[in-house]
Amino acid sequence: MTHHILILGGTAEARQIAAAINERRDCNVVLSLAGRTETPVAQGVPVRSGGFGGPAGLGAWLRDNAVSLLIDATHPYAARISANAAAAARETGVPLLALRRPGWERVAGDQWREVDDVASAVHALGSSPRRVFLSLGRQEIHAFEAAPQHHYLVRSVDPVEPPLAVPQAEMLLARGPFEASAELALLRRHGIDAVVTKNSGGTATYGKIAAARALGIEVVMIRRPKLPDVPSACTVQELLDAVSHRLGPV
């Protein structure tokens, strides 16, 4: 029997999961990407790019392609995609497993100001000019045009188009992972006194959190959205174990 697996991806973990399941002789794997990154890294398995058209469209795709297992390995802030996956799984009866990467925990020395969304992060920076490092998705950067008094250092995988319309902004194109020592040097070099980021969890981008702690810099941390309560695992290996348990031995 051949198992058809759809993985909703866009994360390094999704690539790892896809590669591991693809090694099974009884599985056909398709990795779905939202298409927001212009130059995604090679995935190693067949890729579908772009949205499905909400839960109904995703459900139709699951049925049309005889999908036997749906895996949600999207970013922790991809709340709409996760909600669509949960709804489509319920409607079609296709089993769903989700990767729920644990968030970062505040430790001694961290100066976090936690907020609920990007608009609140803009407000949290205050009215006095600051030198701000924005480590967010490029779709969210333009919200900071509401606070043009700050100097912004923007890091993104792809260029922010149109450019941020503020008097002082620098663009840095880079793809993680980012080591703490390099992040420390970056914050120092640009005189950063505030970091705005999401609580993505994992090790790939934790370096900026450690660097901010070492320098006594405030981190405006955007809290995670609420995600659907579905069967889930915290690590790639735990999820792969759950897949093996469901599909059985090769």
Give pLDDT tens digits for 67-87. Answer: 999 999 999 999 999 999 999
Residue 1 has pLDDT above 90, yes or no: no
How do beta strands 131-135 and 69-72 pair?
Answer: unpaired
Exposure of 11 in the CB half-sphere (CA atoms within 13 A) = 26
Domains of the chain: 3-101+226-247 (3.40.50.720), 111-222 (3.40.50.1980)
Q: What is the pLDDT of residue 39?
A: 57
Cβ–Cβ < 8 Å for 196, 121: yes
The first and second tokens of residue 44, run together, are 């190693």
CB 59 within 8 A of CB 91: yes
Average pLDDT over residues 89-116: 97
3-state secondary structure of 25: coil
- For residue 81, the model assigns a pLDDT of 96
Residues near 61 by beta carbon (within 8 Å), at least 6 away in sequence: 6, 52, 67
- pLDDT tens readout for residues 195-208: 999 999 999 999 99
pLDDT of residue 98 exceeding 60 = yes
Cβ count near 99 (within 10 Å): 25
* pLDDT for res 107: 97
